[in-house]
Structure 1
Amino acid sequence: MLKFEDRFAAWNNLGTHLTRFLSNLDEPQTGWNEELMRVVNTDVHHNGWFDKSEVLHALGEWAKALSEESLSTWVEKYPRSSFEPTTSKVVGIVMAGNIPLVGLHDLLTITLTGHVAKVKMSSDDARLLPILLKQLGPLNEQIEIVERLKDIDAVIATGSDNTARYFEHYFGKYPNIIRKNRKSVAVLKGDEDPSTIEELGKDIFRYFGLGCRNVSKLYLPADFDLNRIFEAWLPYQEVVQNNKYANNYDYHRALFLLDRETFLENGFVVLKEGERMSTPVSVIHYERYSDIDTVVRQLEEKADSIQCVVGNVSSEKLAVVPFGESQSPKLWDYADGVDTVTFLSTI
């Protein structure tokens, strides 16, 4: 097992290489950069949601997260013993594939805390990770990519509500973190300027809305003019150039027309009044309110099904993030609010 300092340096090295790669996208690529660029350019042919711009955004977020400053800030929140276990355990990871590299945080945490990771990748996102691992050097001794998880001491599995039942059946006997469906919402007060509402568009359209941190429902003041939203979101109209997104948009728009349901649309997104937080791709629900404190209390009652709340509100029970930053989480912004470093120190 590598010393903690070497494990830390390996991940920081990957961050450095990603930063250099992203700083020279217009230059001729060779070696590892060329291999990574090939996947960035062609991943959309293997997963229609993984457009080049979305993959590059994910790599950019990881370049920032793996900087020395970011890693140090995260690590310093814990005692050193959290990263130097008496006995290393084997931890299985079942990765999701809804957005690029969504399972990388679990791998980082397991290896940095001194454990061994057995990784079951999603077939939807199986091309980027093997290339990134090449920059981890000797740390790869703590990582094994497998088709089936066995001979493990604990497991971290991410999926839907349906797959969670499967995970609980097969992995319930191990110490585990099993993540289910969660959605994110935004609360607007009505005094937001156009640039702030445009920033909200990042929380909605990044990764085509497929992430659990993507906003799928808006809470709006009773007198809020929806045209303000459509005007501010025009810079995101290119999402409809993605075939899979466009098919979803056309399908749900046609369905609402056939059912004579009331909705508003602007050619690339549908706004529909509704209570549900979960919506199909290209559809955003909204709900009007008269008292913002009541909205916050209602959301706090549903905290177990909410990943984050975008907006300028206060709550000790909810993960509140500024407009435009839901898909730029820090290393200590844990999925489902479950601290994986603390979990791994207990196995």
Structure 2
Amino acid sequence: MTAYPSTLKAFVKLGSFIGDFCENHNSPASESHQEFHNVVIRAELQNSWFNQENILFALEQWSMLLTEKHLTDWLSHYNIDASKKTNTIGLVMAGNIPLVGFHDFLCVLLSGNKVLAKLSSNDTVLLPFLSKYLIEEDPSLEDKMQFVEGKFESFDAVIATGSNNTSRYFEYYFGKKPNIIRKNRNSVAVLTGNESKEQLKALGEDIFRYYGLGCRNVSKIYVPKDYNFDEFFNGVFPFKDIIHQNKYANNYDYNKAVYLMSEFKILDNGFLILKEDKSFSSPIASLFYEYYDTLSGLKKEIQENKEHIQCIVSNGVLDGEINYGETQKPKLDDYADGVNTMDFLLLL
């Protein structure tokens, strides 16, 4: 059992509140739900990648995780000592998908530490609103949360999430403190050609959810020689309406033009471009693919590149695989980059 029952109870209440809101978002049932509805609208106005469907999807995932059973089962694996020194943890949050830093936020508070958070300019309204709710449920949390816009000061450790470029700056500024510094990662899928249409449709969820902006989004597929891409395109066809999002469509048009002018061989279905490429990080509206000769050889290649890969989607092919359609539904113990955040915090 957690050493901070009031904090755990506050998160359970938050999960229930989020779940009720998601169920009734079209007709807010209370003043707090109406305020939440307004916050979601503001988040979309601030960042048009955060459409209401994607925000609600992210919220629904958290509402299902923030239950007493899920939280206590997760925390039962850790020895949380309330008498231990409280540390201030600087959180540098990314803004690629809604509430992408919430898991770090949760870990810091449930481990008994304080949050000093620097939000991405693309995602500044959702987490402060949820924090306000938590404080109403557990007033002791008011002194354990602080959001800063300028320079980070007076922190004991840092968890920073960014790109390969920003990681160099993070290393420079935060390298002398205990830290977790996350770089670019992408997710891949391994297809055998025996996938059902339902499995390929579910794979479309892994590719297109959040417009492909998350590190858990599949940005590359491995396929056997002579793979029939018609089956893949038929499977993901239900996601065709994504092309009506202006920013996505602009990226699709731009990347297609670049590929054609460069005389790259591409496959195209009108809303997704497939390009053969050994890289992992495909541009928005594009998906890289690579052929493999044998699954044993592919396993070795993936193992050699594991530091670039967040999730592997397949069915009975690889160890640690995730089933189709499940990449954006991580569990509480699915730690980013395979680094156990709770162990890091509790060992400070």
The answer, yes or no, to whether TM exceeds 0.5 is yes
Equivalent AA in structure 1 for residue 340 of structure 2:
D
The 1:102–1:87 alpha-carbon spacing in structure 2 relative to 1, beyond 3 Å, is same
Deviations 1:321-340 (A, max 9, x none): 11100011001000000001
Instruction: State the Cα distance separating 1:296 from its structure 2 match.
Output: 1.2
Please name the residue that 1:175 is paired with: 178
- How many equivalent pairs are there? 342
- The 5 Å alignment of 1:129-140 reads 129-137=127-135, 138=139, 139-140=141-142
Deviations 1:195-227 (A, max 9, x none): 000000011000000000000000012132101
Please name the residue that 1:163 is paired with: 166
Distance in 2 (alpha carbons) for counterparts of 1:192 and 1:119: 43
Please name the residue that 1:87 is paired with: 85
Equivalent AA in structure 2 for residue 249 of structure 1:
Y
**3-state secondary structure, aligned to 1:86:** coil
Contact 2:94 2:161 in 1 (8 A): yes
Distance in 1 (alpha carbons) for counterparts of 2:45 and 2:80: 43
Contact 1:85 1:113 in 2 (8 A): no
Contact 1:184 1:216 in 2 (8 A): yes
Contact 1:35 1:131 in 2 (8 A): no
**3-state secondary structure, aligned to 2:289:** strand
- The 5 Å alignment of 1:292-307 reads 292-307=295-310
Equivalent AA in structure 2 for residue 97 of structure 1:
G
- The 5 Å alignment of 1:106-121 reads 106-121=104-119
Verify: 1:61 aligned to 2:61, yes or no.
Answer: yes
Verify: 1:11 aligned to 2:11, yes or no.
Answer: yes
Return 97-106 or 217-226, whichever deviates more: 217-226
The 1:36–1:294 alpha-carbon spacing in structure 2 relative to 1, beyond 3 Å, is same
Gaps of 5+ in 2: none
Contact 2:202 2:324 in 1 (8 A): yes
**3-state secondary structure, aligned to 1:257:** helix
Contact 1:93 1:106 in 2 (8 A): yes
Verify: 1:248 aligned to 2:246, yes or no.
Answer: no
Verify: 1:38 aligned to 2:38, yes or no.
Answer: yes
- The 5 Å alignment of 1:1-347 reads 4-81=4-81, 84=82, 86-137=84-135, 138=139, 139-147=141-149, 148-313=151-316, 315=318, 319-347=320-348
The 1:204–1:257 alpha-carbon spacing in structure 2 relative to 1, beyond 3 Å, is same
Contact 1:85 1:114 in 2 (8 A): no
Instruction: State the Cα distance separating 1:85 from its structure 2 match.
Output: 5.2
Contact 1:153 1:175 in 2 (8 A): yes
Distance in 2 (alpha carbons) for counterparts of 1:206 and 1:309: 16
Instruction: State the Cα distance separating 1:63 from its structure 2 match.
Output: 0.6
Distance in 1 (alpha carbons) for counterparts of 2:94 and 2:296: 35
Contact 1:95 1:120 in 2 (8 A): yes
Distance in 2 (alpha carbons) for counterparts of 1:244 and 1:155: 33
Instruction: State the Cα distance separating 1:25 from its structure 2 match.
Output: 2.1
Deviations 1:58-89 (A, max 9, x none): 101111111222212211222344xx351111
Distance in 2 (alpha carbons) for counterparts of 1:250 and 1:340: 39
Work out the percentage of aligned pairs sharing the same amino acid. Answer: 44
Deviations 1:148-207 (A, max 9, x none): 311011010000011100000000110000000011100012211000000000110000
Instruction: State the Cα distance separating 1:283 from its structure 2 match.
Output: 0.6
Contact 2:80 2:111 in 1 (8 A): no
Distance in 2 (alpha carbons) for counterparts of 1:161 and 1:65: 30
Equivalent AA in structure 1 for residue 8 of structure 2:
F
Distance in 1 (alpha carbons) for counterparts of 2:143 and 2:244: 42
Distance in 1 (alpha carbons) for counterparts of 2:317 and 2:234: 28
Distance in 2 (alpha carbons) for counterparts of 1:63 and 1:94: 23
Contact 2:42 2:125 in 1 (8 A): no
CA-based RMSD of the aligned residues comes to 1.4
Deviations 1:123-144 (A, max 9, x none): 1000111111122122232111
Distance in 2 (alpha carbons) for counterparts of 1:247 and 1:325: 28
Distance in 1 (alpha carbons) for counterparts of 2:313 and 2:36: 33
Gaps of 5+ in 1: none
Return 59-68 or 41-50, whichever deviates more: 41-50
Distance in 2 (alpha carbons) for counterparts of 1:46 and 1:280: 22
4+ aligned runs moved over 3 Å, structure 1: 313-316
- Calculate the TM-score normalised by the size of structure 1: 0.95
**3-state secondary structure, aligned to 1:155:** strand
Equivalent AA in structure 2 for residue 342 of structure 1:
D
**3-state secondary structure, aligned to 1:261:** coil
- Calculate the TM-score normalised by the size of structure 2: 0.95
Equivalent AA in structure 2 for residue 301 of structure 1:
E
